Amino acid sequence: MDICIFAGQGAQVPGMGRDFAEADAELMALFDKANAVLGFDLKKTCFEGPAEELTKSNVCQPAIFVTSYAAYLALQKRRPTSFAAAAGLSLGEWGALCAAGVLDFDSTLKVLEARGRFMQEACEAAPSGMIAIVGATQGQLEQVCATSGCTVANINSSAQQVLSGSKDAIAAAAAIAKEIGIKRAIPLATAGAFHSPFMAPAREKLAPVLDAIEFSAPKFPVLSNVTGKPHSSDPGAIKAMMLEQVTGTTNWAADVESAKALGGTRFVEFGPGKVLSGLVKKIDASLETFNVGDLASLEATAAALG
């Protein structure tokens, strides 16, 4: 069975979505619609950059969503595919919710622009960061967190976790990891400590934005980053969980295991890059992965799924 997965922040690259749009007037119209909804030229930034503008959270989050959703529609036009479930990493979970009909395209754009803006404001209010921990045992990971004051932001696989914390806590985590023999500890170039208590102001500001938007029950299962299980059919519960996601740990490894439990054997990643495909393979090398990020990968994936 096929699972659709949507890229998260960090996958952005100038030029993304351009060949889809230039080859299909309907997809070009999607980018034009995004411009109208947001009130700025997202299309130009996606197609041309500069990279510095594209990395701003309030631009990056809707940009990756539009590109990923365009990729999703491109495959459905090229080879209609019924997916058993959907998932996404952080902002990518919003793409999964949109694909499952929980909220419409316009509303998803508005949420992600606001979400990105609020998260950027939270980053600027309190200097913080993130660090990837590779090859740690559970005991070692707990020791790093307890000693440094960091919290777990992302569980990408059993061998790779990402911690969030203050700048001092990140430096302490790197030193402690080296002391206790953890394979690798890599500070990340992020604006701040995403998926941690540092994002509490963003979560608070996002709540009324979500309250004003109509959510529906998903047409097929969407896996929650927070629980690692499918969202309920209750729109209010989905909103609550998506607020929790702003400050809580994203458990991608659990999402993949849940997708497998639903019968998933093939994962199709939509959006720029292949980060999630790589993580799926690290979790279970027997799973098949495909990506749709441009016309070439669209054709290859359509042929493989056929």
The catalytic position among 68, 90, 166, 196 is: 90
**Contact partners, residue 52, CB within 8 Å, separation at least 6:** none
Name the catalytic one among 68, 107, 128, 195.
195
pLDDT 10s digits, 23-45:
999 999 999 999 999 999 999 99
Going from the C-alpha of 34 to that of each of 27, 64, 120, the distances in angstroms are 11, 12, 21
Our answer to whether residue 90 is catalytic in this structure is yes
pLDDT tens sequence across 164-195: 999 999 999 999 999 999 989 999 988 899 99
* 107 catalytic residue (yes or no): no
| Full set of structural domains in the chain with CATH | 2-124+196-305 (3.40.366.10), 128-188 (3.30.70.250)
**pLDDT computed for residue 306 by the predictor:** 83
pLDDT, tens digit, for every residue of 3-16?
999 999 989 999 99
How crowded is residue 263: how many other Cβ atoms within 10 Å of its Cβ?
A: 11
Per cent of the chain over pLDDT 70 is 100
pLDDT digits (tens, 9 = 90+) for 196-209: 999 999 999 999 99
Query: How far apart, in whole angstroms, are the C-alpha atoms of residue 241 and residue 248?
Result: 10
Give the pLDDT of residue 189. Answer: 84
| SS3 category, 116 | helix
Alpha-helix runs per DSSP H in 212-265: 235-247, 252-261
Angle formed by the axes of helices 200-211 and 235-247, to 10°? 160
* pTM across the whole model: 0.96
Structure confidence by residue, pLDDT tens digits, 111-154: 999 999 999 999 999 999 999 999 999 999 999 999 999 999 99
Does residue 290 surpass a pLDDT of 90?
Answer: yes
Judged by DSSP in three states, 217 sits in coil
Q: Over the stretch 100-111, which tens digit does the pLDDT of each residue have? A: 999 999 999 999
